[in-house]
């Protein structure tokens, strides 16, 4: 049992993913996902299709949805997606948010709500099935852009229908929803992957199977730097700001593929190149030191270090009775046997 809820215009939107499986497998794209955002008051839908569910793609879909609606709702409802919530907690406890989700929500000024049961965001889950049945079913596509265009062409048809729940035209309620939305900020929020990684002895930082350079005069080997990567560029920051309060070390375009090395030559200024090393024709090379004859070995230590020379050291030989006289002990003698005395 649960309590049914209603919202006012512009108060809430619900977000969910849909798995469209291998709809583009014939084009060499293994998986396609659909991102959905539905305004809870009017059920006005938004949908776009992607080939991944990573952090940057997730919030890029948010920006596209806000542009589609012309504003930002006061709250967004999610399920337990890892791109928003860091871990699962028991009902009633505070849900820890992903740092990028906190920054994104603060930039666009909306609150994040966690649905503890499927019925908490049933409006967007129903929209996933509607888009699948009315936009994708029975059709073939060659790209995600073509799928996006198919949804955009279907939206006016959807807005002209009366919703079975509120019995009103979706487009009329959507107009009230759009007016109540918060305005979009002047600049979009830049979502980036963040990692800590050490600098190599060659002033290069490894990320995503590629190498990116940092200034040699500002780092030291094995120093940890922060990597902030977007889809188009990689920014390398120091963990400690310099005297002017700046942490940015370098900015590079993000490499495509793996095994790419992106180096700015100015970053290697001050490092030895080997061009100033002296060369010679070989005539003025220093002559090797002549070896000493075996008889010129000086001292017993050097003689012992060479086994051949050690064998030629003369050792004095004396009877054991000499040591007995020096120590005042009785020399060891054997007792004659009984057979001999008899």
Q: What is the DSSP string of 257-307?
A: SSS-EE--GGGGTTS--STT-----STTPPPPPPPPPGGG--SHHHHHHSH
Domain ranges of the chain: 12-180, 193-268
Q: Which residues contact 90 (CB under 8 A, 6 or more apart)?
A: none
Backbone angles phi, psi at 294, to 5 degrees: -60, -30
More confident residue, 195 or 14: 14
Stretch among 5-19, 39-53, 111-125, 142-156 having the lowest mean pLDDT: 111-125
What tokens does 82 get?
A: 């890892």
**For the domain 12-180, what is the CATH superfamily, name and number?**
Ribonuclease H-like superfamily/Ribonuclease H (3.30.420.10)
Q: Does the pLDDT of residue 132 top 50, yes or no?
A: yes
Stretch among 40-44, 97-101, 117-121, 133-137 having the lowest mean pLDDT: 117-121
Q: Does the pLDDT of residue 301 top 70, yes or no?
A: no
- Could you tell me the pLDDT band of residue 84, with boundaries at 50, 70 and 90? confident
Place of tokens 């740092």: 99
Q: Give the count of alpha carbons within 13 A of 165, CB side only.
A: 13
- Percent of the chain past pLDDT 70, that is, above it, reads 81
- Could you tell me the pLDDT band of residue 93, with boundaries at 50, 70 and 90? confident
CA terminus-to-terminus distance, the chain: 121
More confident residue, 76 or 329: 76
- CA distances from residue 73 to 34, 49, 253 in whole angstroms, order as listed: 20, 22, 34
Neighbours of 247 (CB within 10 A): 14
More confident residue, 252 or 290: 252
- Could you tell me the pLDDT band of residue 160, with boundaries at 50, 70 and 90? very high
- The arithmetic mean of pLDDT across residues 153-163, rounded, is 93
Q: What is the pLDDT of residue 332?
A: 55
Q: What is the pLDDT of residues 203-256, one digit of tens each?
A: 999 998 999 999 998 898 899 999 988 878 899 999 888 888 888 999 999 888
Q: What is the pLDDT of residues 255-272, one digit of tens each?
A: 888 899 999 988 988 777
Q: What is the pLDDT of residue 342?
A: 44
- The arithmetic mean of pLDDT across residues 313-327, rounded, is 75
Q: What is the pLDDT of residue 341?
A: 47
Q: What is the pLDDT of residue 131?
A: 94
* Cβ(17)–Cβ(53) below 8 Å: yes
CA 276 to mean position of chain CA atoms = 40
Backbone angles phi, psi at 249, to 5 degrees: -100, -45
- With vertex at residue 32, the alpha carbon angle to CA 28 and CA 34, rounded to the nearest 5 degrees, is 160
* Cβ(247)–Cβ(241) below 8 Å: yes
More confident residue, 175 or 114: 175
Q: Does the pLDDT of residue 73 top 90, yes or no?
A: yes
Q: What is the pLDDT of residue 211?
A: 94
- The arithmetic mean of pLDDT across residues 162-178, rounded, is 91
């Amino acid at each position: 049992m649960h309590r049914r809820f209603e919202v006012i215009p512009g108060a809430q939107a619900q977000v969910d993913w849909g798995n469209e499986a291998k709809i583009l497998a014939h084009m060499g794209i293994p998986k396609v996902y659909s991102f959905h955002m539905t305004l809870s008051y009017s059920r006005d839908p938004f949908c776009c299709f992607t080939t991944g569910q990573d952090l940057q793609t997730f919030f890029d879909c948010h920006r596209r949805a806000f542009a589609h609606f012309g504003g930002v709702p006061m709250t967004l409802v999610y399920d337990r997606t890892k791109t928003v919530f860091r871990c699962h907690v028991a009902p009633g406890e505070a849900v820890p948010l992903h740092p990028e989700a906190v920054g994104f929500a603060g930039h666009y000024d909306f609150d994040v709500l966690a649905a503890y049961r499927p019925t908490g965001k049933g409006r967007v889950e129903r929209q996933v099935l509607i888009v699948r049945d009315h936009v994708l079913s029975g059709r073939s596509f060659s790209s995600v852009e073509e799928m996006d265009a198919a949804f955009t062409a279907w939206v006016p048809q959807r807005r002209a229908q009366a919703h079975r729940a509120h019995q009103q035209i979706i487009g009329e309620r959507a107009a009230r929803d759009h007016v109540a939305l918060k305005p979009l900020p002047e600049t979009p929020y830049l979502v980036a992957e963040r990692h800590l990684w050490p600098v190599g002895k060659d002033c290069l930082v490894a990320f995503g199977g590629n190498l990116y350079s940092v200034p040699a005069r500002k780092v030291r080997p094995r120093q940890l730097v922060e990597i902030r990567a977007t889809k188009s560029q990689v920014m390398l920051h120091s963990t400690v700001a310099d005297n002017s309060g700046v942490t940015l070390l370098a900015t590079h375009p993000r490499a495509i593929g793996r095994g790419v090395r992106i180096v700015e030559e100015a970053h290697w200024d001050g490092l030895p190149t080997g061009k100033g090393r002296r060369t010679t024709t070989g005539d003025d090379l220093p002559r090797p030191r002549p070896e000493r004859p075996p008889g010129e070995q000086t001292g017993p230590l050097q003689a012992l270090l060479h086994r051949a020379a050690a064998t030629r050291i003369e050792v004095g030989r004396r009877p054991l009775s000499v040591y007995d006289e020096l120590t005042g002990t009785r020399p060891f003698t054997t007792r004659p046997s009984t057979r001999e005395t008899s």
